[in-house]
Amino acid sequence: MRFRLAMAGVLAAAWAAAAPAGAAPNPQHAGLQVALRAQGLYDGPIDAIVGPRTVAAIRAFQRTHGLRVTGLADARMRRELGPFGTPLFGARTISRGEFGWDVAVLQFLLVSHGISVPVNGYVDGPTVRGIRRYQRQLRLAADGIAGRATFTALGLQTRIPVRAASAASVSATDAAAVRASIDYWAAHYGVDPSLARALAWMESGYQNDVVSTVGAQGVMQLLPSTWTYVETVLLGHKVPHTAGGNVEVGVTLLHHLLTVFKGNEQLALAAWYQGERAVRRVGVYKISRTFVADVEALKTRM
């Protein structure tokens, strides 16, 4: 088993490039699907199965990036995918703040083992907590860092049974439509679209069916009270509770916070996380600084 895991970095490239449509779930393909969703090309479930929708997204990416259109995610295509295209799972230790294909695979595997984490290719707070929870279950050192021992535990089944993959599927909204909506409202308000995209991706991975433990809903993870505030105070009209409506409300709020804090992105993001009044009264909480740093780091990749 250890030899099998040690070979993962070598074998994964072949799996990613050669798996036919309709093949059994392969965790490496969850990384591919997340990378394609970040590009706005894939709106299906993160199920680690390279089916027709995944192949269509691969072909679309290859066409738009001047690659040979094969429908196979080879090494050259993975390089073109940018920070979400590499490295393959098992090639490095994964800790907080890491981006990449391997992070998405790790998140998919955690979900398949019953650990609820976002599947977005970025190691944020919820993902660190999920790693720790899994490590505690396996009686490993719960340091929140996925290394050899955690990979060994997760890699006992390189190919996940179909029923596990089904339970681990993460439903997605139309990522292309979400990105288009973000860009539209960012342009409308003069907000940096990379900042708006990073915030939305950080909050939900562009998914409209994600609900947080405190009841924040959808793409931008807005509380019902926040939605009402934006409708009544900032907009003066109702907004439909759709993915597009969620983006409109979220970017409207982001623009408001940027205006209030005179364009200071760090303070605006802190206010997004902890509340405008709290930032004014006591400054930026320590936990908010981590959130702000995460979004700012992601902004450079969106």
Q: Tell me the three-class secondary structure of 97-133, residue by residue.
A: CCECHHHHHHHHHHHHCCCCCCCCCECCHHHHHHHHH
Distance CA 100, CA 83 (A): 5
pTM of the model: 0.57
Residue that terminates a domain, selected from 168, 195, 225: 168
* Domain residue limits at 147: 2-168
Residue that terminates a domain, selected from 135, 168, 201: 168
Distance CA 100, CA 107 (A): 11
Together in a domain, 240 and 152: no
Quick one: pLDDT at residue 212? 67
Structure tokens at 30: 């969850």
Together in a domain, 77 and 100: yes
Task: Give the pLDDT of the chain (302 residues) as one tens digit per residue.
Answer: 322 333 333 333 333 444 444 455 788 889 999 999 988 888 888 988 888 999 999 999 999 999 999 888 888 898 888 888 888 887 888 999 888 999 999 999 999 889 999 898 999 889 999 999 999 988 888 999 998 888 877 764 333 333 333 333 333 346 778 888 999 999 999 999 999 998 998 887 787 777 766 678 888 988 899 999 999 999 999 999 898 999 999 999 999 999 999 999 999 999 998 889 899 998 988 878 878 888 887 787 77
Together in a domain, 68 and 19: yes
Contacts with 116 (C-beta within 8 Å, 6 or more apart), sequence order: 130
CATH number of the domain that residue 145 is part of: 1.10.101.10
Distance CA 163, CA 161 (A): 6
Together in a domain, 247 and 266: yes
Together in a domain, 187 and 162: no
Distance CA 108, CA 165 (A): 9
CATH number of the domain that residue 282 is part of: 1.10.530.10
Together in a domain, 147 and 286: no
Could you say which DSSP state residue 146 is in? Answer: B
The single residue listed with the structure tokens 């950080």 is 202
Domain count, the chain: 2
Structure tokens at 160: 């996940």
Together in a domain, 78 and 216: no
The single residue listed with the structure tokens 């342009």 is 187
Together in a domain, 63 and 158: yes
Question: Does residue 232 contact residue 204 with C-beta atoms inside 8 Å?
Answer: no
Together in a domain, 132 and 15: yes
Together in a domain, 21 and 158: yes
Together in a domain, 80 and 164: yes
Distance CA 203, CA 205 (A): 6
Residue that terminates a domain, selected from 168, 188, 223: 168
Together in a domain, 160 and 262: no
Quick one: pLDDT at residue 254? 96
Question: Does residue 220 contact residue 246 with C-beta atoms inside 8 Å?
Answer: yes
Distance CA 182, CA 199 (A): 10
Structure tokens at 76: 């050259």
